[in-house]
Amino acid sequence: MALSQNDMAETLIALYRNDDAKSKGMYRLSKDAFKSIAGKAALKEVYFWDVDSALREDGFMILDMRNEHNQVGVISMSTVIKRFQELSEKLVGENECPSDDDEW
């Protein structure tokens, strides 16, 4: 039986929080593995992005590498914040491009 988007998100989070320290944390899986865990014969875009949306509600996200490497990653947002350095204001200023667009 196929998992709902929320159930798939919960499963991916459980895999992230695996008690085995060697397997705990961010990970990647193939599109086929993603489909197998979800119980889906085919993966529709809307399902994939709905799972990502459900993950984000709990502080996780999907790294979409399906086109480049036929894989996806699962990572916590706190890991991204802790491990990725912020771009300095100096570098932002050096690469700034004037814009009249007020949207984010």
Judge if pTM exceeds 0.85.
no
What letter represents residue 15's amino acid?
L
Query: What tokens were used for 3?
Result: 């998992």
pLDDT at 19: 77
H-helix or E-strand spanning residue 29: strand 27-30
Looking up tokens 């919960």 gives 10
Which residues make beta-bridge pairs with 72?
A: 29, 64
pLDDT tens digits, the chain, 104 residues: what are they? 899 999 999 999 999 998 776 677 889 999 999 999 999 999 899 999 999 999 999 999 999 999 999 999 999 999 989 988 888 999 999 998 877 776 76
Name the residue ranges covered by the structural domains of the chain: 5-83
pLDDT digits (tens, 9 = 90+) for 19-31: 776 677 889 999 9
The Cα–Cα gap between 33 and 46 comes to: 18
Q: What's the CATH number for 5-83? A: 3.30.1370
pLDDT digits (tens, 9 = 90+) for 9-18: 999 999 999 8
H-helix or E-strand spanning residue 6: helix 5-16
